[in-house]
Structure 1
Amino acid sequence: MAVTSPAPRRFRQTDWLALGLTALAEQGPSGLTIEALCRRAGKTKGSFYAHFPAIEAYLAALAGHWRETHTLRLMQEVDKGGAAQDRLIALDRMALSLDMRAEQGMRRLAQLDAGVATICAEVDRERVGYLEKLHGESGRFTPEEALALARVEYAAFIGFQQLDLGLSQDDLHECYATFMRLVAPPSFRGRP
């Protein structure tokens, strides 16, 4: 009896999107050509076109995938329960565990593609709104203060990702965590 190897696994749309986030993190927008993606996947252009009619459709789907995996899923996980303080701490931990290079790459891509720029702007509003909600639920801030703190916190988060301070990713995470300990009231520092 002849030995046959298993059929190669079909590359799904979600595989192309996960591959794209990795390529974006490692190479920036230049890694998102159809040729580069197919080479990275070990697939043909036909496989790519079976899921996306053009690169523009792929970039829009990629931005939507980034929004889902780097924003909406975190919010859903945090919303599973707990006091506002605990949810803020959990959100910070999850956000800081994401690959910052994907965020950096998506923002560079937004400079080149208007559709991606629109999604990035929507994500920014969603993230600030979610932080505002959590700070408001804490009962420690007026609505105006909750919004101001959310804006400052988010600006610091994005700033730490975008600036080249000559620090390792771990150092950037520690610097951001220190910033949050300094601006958050003592009860929000995760200590009794």
Structure 2
Amino acid sequence: MTTPAPLRFRRNDWLELGLAALAEQGPAGLTIEALCRRAGKTKGSFYAHFPAIEAYLSALAGHWRETFTLRLMQEADRGEAPRDRLLALDRMALALDGRIEQGMRRLAQLDAGVAATCAAVDRERIAYLEKLHGESRCFAPAEARALARIEYAAFIGFQQLDLGLSPQELHDCYGTFMRLVYPPSFRSGPRV
């Protein structure tokens, strides 16, 4: 599928195009030829922004990290209470296109630079969850770390398994998880 191209295709346009290609076609959609065809642009347009496909894949992984991790954490941090931040993070994470996450992890199996970015993202996400669970004052530090790892493993697992769950069903699973883990005093308040 060809996307209508803006008059001037910027670096960020190439990166957004790459995320869409990754979601629809997986790593196979990330060749220079396939990207140029999808963009309706020449290879010269691509090379004006990226000297080689390796540089593009590195930039794409960085863009994914920024949009799928760092921005979510920044947005969640607008809440004050740990519970509010956890719920905001949950809502935003469930709204993401899981196919992009799946595609990035498949791409990581083929490219060491992307694999390093994925590993860094995993560490950042777990550390952020650990911080929120720690700030809840419901868990000792070791428990907050373990809970963050378990919660993140469930998040990644839901993406990798095709359970046929809707976003609402995934949200309900997370709500059940929260009810099982946290005491009633933490859980009180309106759910999103």
Q: TM-score, normalised by structure 2?
A: 0.90
Structure 1 counterpart of 2:189: 191
| RMSD of Structure 2 on Structure 1 (CA) | 1.6
Q: CA deviation at 1:82?
A: 1.1
Does the residue aligned with 1:191 lie in a helix, a strand or coil? Answer: coil
Count of residue pairs brought into register by the alignment: 185
Partners of 1:23 and 1:88 in 2: CA distance: 30
Corresponding letter in the other structure for 1:98: L
Residue among 101, 108, 111 paired with 1:110: 108
Structure 1 counterpart of 2:76: 78
Partners of 2:170 and 2:125 in 1: CA distance: 20
Q: CA deviation at 1:167?
A: 3.5
Structure 1 counterpart of 2:12: 14
Structure 2 counterpart of 1:68: 66
Kept in 2, the 8 Å contact 1:63–1:119? The answer is yes
Does the residue aligned with 1:10 lie in a helix, a strand or coil? Answer: coil
Partners of 1:124 and 1:101 in 2: CA distance: 17
Partners of 1:93 and 1:75 in 2: CA distance: 12
In the alignment, structure 1 segments of 5+ residues that lack a partner are 1-7
Q: Which of structure 1's runs of 4+ aligned residues deviate more than 6 A?
A: none
Any residues of structure 2 matched to 1:8-157 within 5 Å, and which? 9-157=7-155
Identity of aligned residues (%): 81
Distance 1:29 1:136, change over 3 A: same
In the alignment, structure 2 segments of 5+ residues that lack a partner are 1-5
Larger Rg: 1
Q: TM-score, normalised by structure 1?
A: 0.90
